[in-house]
Amino acid sequence: MASPRLTQIVAQLPTTVPFIGPETLERDRGKPFRARLGANENSFGPAPSVIEAMQKEASAIWQYGDPENHALRHAIAAHYGIGAENVMVGAGVDALLGLIVRQYVQPGDKVINSLGGYPTFNYHVAGYGGALITVPYHNDHSDLDAMLDAARKHDAKIIYISNPDNPMGTWHEGSEIQTFVERVPETTMLVLDEAYCETGPAFAFPPFETDRPNILRMRTFSKAYGLAGIRCGYAIGCAQAIAAFDKVRDHFAVSRMAQAAALMALKDQNYLRDVVKRIRKARERVAAIARANGLAPIPSATNFVTIDCGADAQFAIKVLNGLLDRGIFVRKPAAPVLDRCIRVSVGTDEQLDPFEEALPQALADARRPTSPSV
């Protein structure tokens, strides 16, 4: 029986997703995790004022959200001292990344990312037929010089970097980023993902240049603001680049609930400052747990700590699996060199206590000699 044909691009793609969710793993194991420390969520949660705003909005949820995201765009613009025409709101950074690739990449066009950099971006590149060029990390940082060389060599349509970085948690100083921005070819769009900007040092972020046509800076309410579940992020760029989103975006992608929550989250900066302090304290605790077990935490400016397990990828996988077996959900980088590590999201004491208990047990299992096969 005949059936509709997929496009050639889609037909050739593997049936996969960038991440396997903890819910899928819980279904597979038949029970919930004791600690959810693998998705870089903020388990401190949103501000009470945000929850109240969402509750008030619930009775109006039968209405579509404002397709222009007018109030939120203007609030974000005022927060940074830029124009509303320089802000585009979307259903999380992931959705916005897909829209960016759709706008700038045609089949066969070259796109640059770090080897081991954020895989959801790569997922969108593949989905639109782009050709991904990956550049190895240097000392656990994205290699800015090598990425520029690759962009020039391949006439890349997009360069993607995250600062602070996911999955390593490292960061470049703002002066380094500014120099990088000024060296990016004019015909290449730089996507600078700053999802963890609130938890990083202020000196890591250069001033906004909203007249520069080849940079889009991505930010989100998912991390420090504790609103990963509502899917709301935004892009900042020149007016022309921002206006182009209107040609392809889903105008009702950001719900009324998400808009109300993000507006209040942005307003309640006192809570944000408090929760960032708690994130930093939890980061210190995760690092201390790692050191107490003979492991090396990599300095982090995010809401997670990447831990060097001190051996190869197979050993790190054993540690990861030992934690999963004990009900502790964490993740690890998959790319060579980075794959020696595991990545642990920070969280409340209720989340970190089981991790502290389970890590030495998982390490003991990983270090135990394997019985020779008969």
What residues are paired with 159 via a beta bridge? Answer: 112, 190
Strand, helix or coil at 296?
Answer: strand
250 shares a domain with 278 = no
Domain assignment of residue 117, yes or no:
yes
212 shares a domain with 116 = yes
Rounded-to-integer distance, Cα 86 and Cα 196, Å: 20
pTM of the model: 0.95
Residue matched to tokens 């593949």? 126
What is the mean pLDDT of the segment spanning 40-46?
A: 96
Domain boundary among 267, 300, 332: 267
175 shares a domain with 115 = yes
290 shares a domain with 243 = no
pLDDT at residue 116 above 90? yes
pLDDT at residue 96 above 50? yes
Instruction: Please state, for a pLDDT cut of 70, what percent of the chain lies above it.
Output: 99
pLDDT at residue 29 above 80? yes
Let me know: does 99 contact 243? Beta carbons within 8 Å: no
Domain assignment of residue 372, yes or no:
no
What is the mean pLDDT of the segment spanning 20-47?
A: 95
292 shares a domain with 320 = yes
315 shares a domain with 210 = no
Helix extents (H) in the chain = 8-11, 22-29, 48-58, 70-80, 92-104, 119-127, 144-154, 174-183, 239-244, 256-267, 269-292, 313-325, 349-367
- For residue 369, name the pLDDT band (cuts at 50, 70, 90): confident
Q: What is the pLDDT of residues 177-223, one digit of tens each?
A: 999 999 999 999 999 999 999 999 999 999 999 999 999 999 999 99
Domain assignment of residue 301, yes or no:
yes
Q: Which residues contact 73 (CB under 8 A, 6 or more apart)?
A: 84, 87, 88, 89, 234
Rounded-to-integer distance, Cα 256 and Cα 38, Å: 28
Apex 356 CA angle, 353 and 359, nearest 5: 140
96 shares a domain with 59 = yes
Domain assignment of residue 289, yes or no:
yes
> Which of 1-10, 65-74, 101-110, 182-191 is the least confident region?
1-10
154 shares a domain with 81 = yes
CATH number of residue 356's parent domain: 3.90.1150.10
Q: What is the pLDDT of residue 374?
A: 47
What is the mean pLDDT of the segment spanning 344-359?
A: 97
- For residue 15, name the pLDDT band (cuts at 50, 70, 90): confident
The count of structural domains within the chain is 2
Q: What is the pLDDT of residues 126-176, one digit of tens each?
A: 999 999 999 999 999 999 999 999 999 999 999 999 999 999 999 999 999
145 shares a domain with 274 = no
Q: What is the pLDDT of residue 372?
A: 58
Domain assignment of residue 144, yes or no:
yes
Domain boundary among 236, 267, 298: 267
Domain assignment of residue 287, yes or no:
yes
CATH number of residue 193's parent domain: 3.40.640.10
Strand, helix or coil at 224?
Answer: coil
Rounded-to-integer distance, Cα 321 and Cα 287, Å: 20
Rounded-to-integer distance, Cα 5 and Cα 303, Å: 43
Q: What is the pLDDT of residues 241-279, one digit of tens each?
A: 999 999 999 999 999 999 999 999 999 999 999 999 999
297 shares a domain with 252 = no
Domain boundary among 214, 241, 267: 267
Q: What is the pLDDT of residue 17?
A: 79
278 shares a domain with 311 = yes
238 shares a domain with 252 = yes
Q: Which domain covers residue 243, as residue numbers?
A: 48-267
